[in-house]
Amino acid sequence: MPERLPSHFIDLVQDALLKSFWRKNALLNFLRRHKIAEGFLATWQETETKRVFVGRLFPKLESDSKGAQVIKQMGASLSDQVKFPDLEGWEDAPAKIQSAKEAIVALRHYLNMQKQNADDAKTREETRKAAHQRMQETIKKRQSLETLAEKLKELSRRIGTAEAGYEFQDWFFDVVDFFEMTNRRPYSSGGRQIDGSVTVEGTTYLTELKFTREQAGAPDVDTFLAKVNDKADNTMGIMISMSGYSSTAVEQASGRKTPIILLDHGHVYLVLNGSWTLAEVVSRVRRHASQTARAFLPASEFGA
Question: Can you list the domains of the chain with their CATH numbers?
Answer: 7-118 (no CATH), 158-301 (3.40.1350.10)
Residue 14 — pLDDT band, cuts 50, 70, 90? very high
Average model confidence (pLDDT) across the chain: 91
Residue 140 — pLDDT band, cuts 50, 70, 90? low
Q: What is the pLDDT of residues 53-66, one digit of tens each?
A: 999 999 999 988 89
For the ranges 138-147, 198-207, 294-303, the lowest mean pLDDT is seen at: 138-147
Read off the DSSP letter of residue 105: H
How many C-beta neighbours within 10 Å does residue 204 have?
Answer: 17
* pLDDT of 142 strictly over 70: no
Instruction: Express as a percent the part of the chain with pLDDT over 70.
Output: 95
Q: What is the pLDDT of residue 232?
A: 77
- Distance between CA atoms of 182 and 30, rounded to whole angstroms? 58
Burial class (CB in 10 A: 0-12, 13-18, 19+), 238: buried
* Cβ within 8 Å of residue 101, ≥6 positions away: 84
- Distance between CA atoms of 220 and 222, rounded to whole angstroms? 5
Instruction: Express as a percent the part of the chain with pLDDT over 90.
Output: 75
Three-state DSSP at 214 gives: coil
- Distance between CA atoms of 17 and 68, rounded to whole angstroms? 16
Question: What would the mean pLDDT of 177-181 be, rounded to a whole number?
Answer: 89
Residue 138 — pLDDT band, cuts 50, 70, 90? low
* pLDDT of 302 strictly over 60: yes
Q: What is the pLDDT of residues 250-289, one digit of tens each?
A: 999 999 889 999 999 999 999 998 889 999 999 999 999 9
Q: What is the pLDDT of residue 263?
A: 98
Q: What is the pLDDT of residues 154-168, one digit of tens each?
A: 999 999 999 999 999
Q: What is the pLDDT of residue 163?
A: 95
